[in-house]
Chains A and B, each alone.
Chain A
Amino acid sequence: MARSTERQQAKPHLVEEWVGRIYTFLCILLLIVTIFSMVYFVASKGLSTFFVNKVNIADFFTGVKWSPDGVPPLFGALPFIFGSFSTSILAALIAAPMGICASLFMVEIAPKFGRKYLQPVIELLAGIPSVVYGFVGLSVIVPFFRNVFPGQGLGIAAGSVVLAVMILPTITTITTDALAALPSGLKEGSYALGSTRWQTIYRIVLPTTLPALLTGVVLGIARAFGEALAVQMVIGNAPHIPHSLFESTSTLTSAITLSMGNTAMGSAQNNALWTLALILLLMTFVFVFIVRWLERRSKI
């Protein structure tokens, strides 16, 4: 008798368990299906440039002329690939030292002031919409470059500066967390041997946290690589490889946003844009793998 009442009590719990289990499983299933179908869609569209429209893969990646409407149509995506890599890497070169130094200041030099005032301000930067960055870049940075350097001011330099400001919060936030997570025993150990703060930072703090610092930089590059709007506003959008940093050029993202409304679904022009999207997607995977690899290295 007693046993059967116990069973009756146990049942609702079992149902709860299963409802929870099925619900969470469905959520993750939906997520996985979405991701896979997106990758499949982009890949099938992007690859049909080569298999349906018979564009030569080598020509696509090494060609420097992009004129999908020309006769014959030319699909040389190298200028876009070059533009994307050069702007994001240049942006990281500008933003990484600044971000890491800002983190050092906040964690090692003025922790009280840094944590209370600087970090919220830097995190605020991350929340500004990219169109605002682009607009400021177009109204301030582009005219400045036009006045100081030969050219129209639009180009890789302007794009990199705008991107650098945009990725600064990403890099700073991640590197700050990395520095703060360093066991204090290591720093004390270094101080106790009579090293100065600078020696401790340079010889202990930075080398020990290096993988985590690089993670921040790579995530910054990934963000810069994927940013479309702000870059498109200041880069000029001419589809060729520029001769200087102040000459109009394009990136993968800006090429897509600029032409996607003007092509018919299924046309060679449209498929070529999907190929650019596929390159972006694959690069994102590469960045994620690099970050994973670095994270594994930072756990010692």
Chain B
Amino acid sequence: MQEIALSARNLSVHYGDKPAVKNISLDFASKEVTALIGPSGCGKSTFLRSLNRMNDLIPGAKITGQILIGDEDINNPATDVVSLRQRIGMVWQRPNPFHKSIYENIAFGPRYHGIKSKKKLDEIVEESLRKAALWDETKDRLHKSALALSGGQQQRLCIARSIAVKPDIILMDEPASALDPVSTAKIEELIAELKKDYSIIIVTHNMHQAARVSQKTAFFLNGEVVEYDQTVNMFSNPQKQETNDYISGRFG
């Protein structure tokens, strides 16, 4: 029996009256990569953003259902979203480094969670950059602007930044879709490495990427999960017609 990092129970998201995610229940295994695939507008990004309550920031979004970490329902309004987001990190499609130095980008989170000692921060910065496979490229210019990094480096910096607050789960919203193939390959390698320590949920448009990096895949269509299975099974032997049509490129 696999350990569960996070489960969604009957999760629905409405923007105004429009349902974007309909009654989804999924379990995400601990220390594994789960890919969410599906055509544009199928609700996979909305679903992902609900998991660390980022949809709270969107006016008019209504989220019902439960999101469980252990027995705790984090979709409960009483949940402290600040400490929740410390446990569930997020990386976006477009790298969004802060307009600060590389060091300050990484130290930003830990500093706000009360770490003041310079030595401790130095350690966290180095460890996070090493884990994000960015240390060798940046160790000589930690105090230079993060904006001078290439797109792929910036994205790895954003991953390092979310690792720095020591989350259990990392959500990735098409983390490589704005990058060139070489940078994409590096991000994928990194994901494979990170799953030793973290549970990763990744939204991707690229089915080959899903097949390469994930252990489980959920196929979304029109706000619902059509199929959820081991990635190997899903791509070799899809159970549903829609899944088969999508992964064989007949639509999407």
Contacts and interface: CB of A to CB of B under 8 A. Distances in A.
Interface of A: 111-112, 183, 185-196, 199, 203-204, 207-208, 300
A192 B99 contact: no
Residue from B86, B94, B96 whose CB has the most chain A CB atoms within 10 Å: B96
Contacts of B147: 300
B165 A186 contact: no
B78 interface: no
Given A188-B54, A194-B86, A203-B112, 9 more contacts: A112-B59, A186-B96, A187-B57, A191-B54, A193-B109, A193-B161, A193-B164, A194-B113, A208-B98
Contacts, number: 66
A130 to B, nearest CB: 38
Nearest to A183: B96
Nearest to B104: A203
A192 B90 contact: yes
B235 interface: no
Contacts of B98: 186, 189-190, 204, 208
Contact of B85 (A185, A193, A203, A300): A193
A194 B92 contact: no
Nearest to A194: B86
A55 to B, nearest CB: 49
A191 B58 CA distance: 13
A164 B112 CA distance: 35
B134 to A, nearest CB: 16
Contact of B109 (A185, A195, A208, A300): A195
A248 B90 CA distance: 60
Given A112-B59, A188-B54, A188-B57, A193 B108 contact: yes
A contact face: mostly helix, strand, loop, or mixed? helix
Nearest to B56: A191
Given A188-B57, A199-B112, A194 B85 contact: yes
Given A196-B82, A203-B108, A300-B147, A191 B57 contact: yes
| 6 A-B pairs with the lowest CB-CB distances in the bound complex, closest first | A185-B96, A194-B86, A193-B109, A192-B90, A194-B85, A189-B96
A208 B112 CA distance: 18
A247 B186 CA distance: 69
B34 interface: no
Interface in B145-173: 147, 158, 161-162, 164-165
B165 A194 contact: yes
A207 B165 contact: no
Contacts of B89: 192-193
Contact of B99 (A191, A193, A300): A300
A183 B96 CA distance: 9
Residue from B57, B89, B90, B112 whose CB has the most chain A CB atoms within 10 Å: B112
Nearest to B95: A185
Contacts of B161: 189, 193
A173 B140 CA distance: 42
A183 B94 CA distance: 11
A195 B112 contact: yes
Contacts of A188: 54, 57, 90, 92, 96
B52 interface: yes
Contacts of A111: 59
Contact of A190 (B59, B86, B94, B108): B108
Interface in B15-73: 52, 54, 57, 59
Contacts of A203: 108, 112
A183 B162 CA distance: 19
Contacts of B108: 190, 193, 195, 203
A189 B158 contact: yes
B117 interface: no
B2 interface: no
Given A188-B54, A189-B158, A194 B96 contact: no
Nearest to B88: A192
Nearest to A192: B90
Residue from A112, A192, A204, A300 whose CB has the most chain B CB atoms within 10 Å: A192
B162 A193 contact: yes
Contacts of B84: 194
B83 A194 contact: yes
A191 to B, nearest CB: 7
Contacts of A186: 96, 98-99
B54 A194 contact: no
A111 B57 CA distance: 12
A207 B99 contact: yes
A185 B94 CA distance: 8
Given A185-B96, A204-B98, A300-B99, A193 B165 contact: yes
Given A192-B90, A195-B109, A208 B162 contact: no
A193 B57 CA distance: 14
Nearest to A208: B99
A183 B97 CA distance: 11
A104 to B, nearest CB: 16
Contacts of A192: 52, 54, 85, 89-90, 162
Contacts of B57: 187-188, 191
